[in-house]
Structure 1
Amino acid sequence: MKTIEKWADRVYAENDFGRSMATSIAGLIGLVVYLLSKDWVIAAFASIITFPIIRIFASSFNEKVERNKKRKAEKEELENLYNKLSLDEKNVIESFVKAGGSVLTWTQMNNQDVSSSGVESLIQREILWTSYTADGMRETFVLDSNVFDICNKKMGLTKNS
């Protein structure tokens, strides 16, 4: 009797979605097979055989759902961040989008009609920083690529939703 209680405690304390679903569905399959065949050996084999298959499918489904939730939360967080930016900060970000990339050289940046306070504010927010071109010859301004993507989408310059 103690082993059944331990087993039940373990099953109900389980927090692995794939294992929980596999246990439930394999148990249901075993019960149905038993009720139809009246043979507990066949029912046990049906449960044992189906368990790993169901666990694989349930785990992969759960991972996909969790990934989509995470992406959606990150996207909402970025959109909230973008919506909180000042008009000057948004103008700086939009200048990157209009230029077609998340990196501008100092010369390109100086030719943009943006306020220096917007640039400095984005640097303080760690959305914009300085770097160097790949050849190491020129200093650049680099915009966070996720913020660039959000602004690009808001401005309607991409076809992706």
Structure 2
Amino acid sequence: MNAIEKWAERVYAETDFGRNVATSLSGLLGLGVYLIVGDWVIAAFASIIFFPVARLTATAIHARVSRGADRRAKRKDAEQIYRSLSDEERAVVSEFVAAGGCVLTWHHMNHCPVSGPAIESLIQREVLSTSMTADGMRETFVLDTAFFEIGVSHAKAANVP
């Protein structure tokens, strides 16, 4: 296998999005420079210089788009689960919304007028879990943040005249 075949195999086996885009753009830039100037050395230097800039830019844009898509998918999943909740489970979520955060202490939860089985049901649905406060002194209930945001948006929608 000669050097060009090895290079081509490596380029086409690459799974890094930023590198793929940078390779394509650098190649196009190099070809364009070569066609305009007619000097392959200048074209090669232009491609080499342009590659890292293109890679950083493509990677940053891809990461931002991917994070947005992940957030939208997580919100869609949370919305679907929220719609399937019982009234008792929604009451538990409402307590978190009323408290203004996705964490409640056991003490607070014990004084809330919510159903114990509804709490356990939310734990089984993997939208509610237990944890410790930052100081490690008290145990807490933690509602999934995407789920909390769904609860907040539903609470705001319910209060609209």
Q: What is the TM-score with the length of structure 2 in the denominator?
A: 0.78
Task: State the shift of 1:9 in Å.
Answer: 1.3
CA distance in 1, matches of 2:112, 2:18: 56
1:58 shift after superposition: 0.6
Residue of structure 2 in register with 1:103 after alignment? 104
Q: Matched residue of 1:60: which SS?
A: helix
Q: 1:127 to 1:35 in 2, by over 3 A?
A: closer
What's the CA shift for 1:76? Answer: 1.8
- Give per-residue Cα distances to partners, 1:16-73, cap 9 Å, x unaligned: 1111111111111111111111111111111111111111101111111111122222
Cα displacement string for residues 79-121 of structure 1 (whole angstroms, at most 9, x for unaligned residues): 2222222111112221332343441564674353x33432343
Q: Which amino acid aligns with 2:93?
A: I
Larger Rg: 1
Match of 2:50 in 1: 50
The CA distance in 1 between the partners of 2:70 and 2:110, in whole Å, is 34
Matched position secondary structure for 1:59: helix
Identity %: 45
The answer to whether the Cα contact below 8 Å between 1:128 and 1:141 also exists between their aligned partners in 2 is no
Q: 2:13 is matched with which residue?
A: 13
* Structure 2 residue aligned with 1:93: 93
How far apart are the structure 2 equivalents of 1:131 and 1:4?
A: 56
* Alpha carbons of structure 1 residues 97 and 43: separation in structure 2 relative to 1, 3 Å: same
- 1:119-158 to structure 2, matched below 5 A, reads 119-125=119-125, 127-128=127-128, 136=137, 142-146=141-145, 147-156=147-156
CA RMSD of aligned residues (A): 2.8
SS of the aligned residue for 2:156 comes to coil
Amino acid of the structure 2 residue aligned with 1:5: E
User: 1:155 is paired with a residue of what secondary structure?
Assistant: helix
Counterpart of 2:41 in structure 1 is 41
TM-score, structure 1 normalization = 0.78
| SS state at 1:156 partner | helix
Counterpart CA distance in 1 for 2:64 and 2:130 is 36
- In the alignment, structure 1 segments of 5+ residues that lack a partner are none
Question: AA paired with 1:142?
Answer: F
Q: Which amino acid aligns with 2:18?
A: G
Q: Distance in 1 between matches of 2:91 and 2:105?
A: 14
* Secondary structure class of the residue paired with 1:8: helix
1:11 Cα deviation from its structure 2 partner = 1.1
Distance in 2 (CA, whole Å) between partners of 1:130 and 1:16 is 37
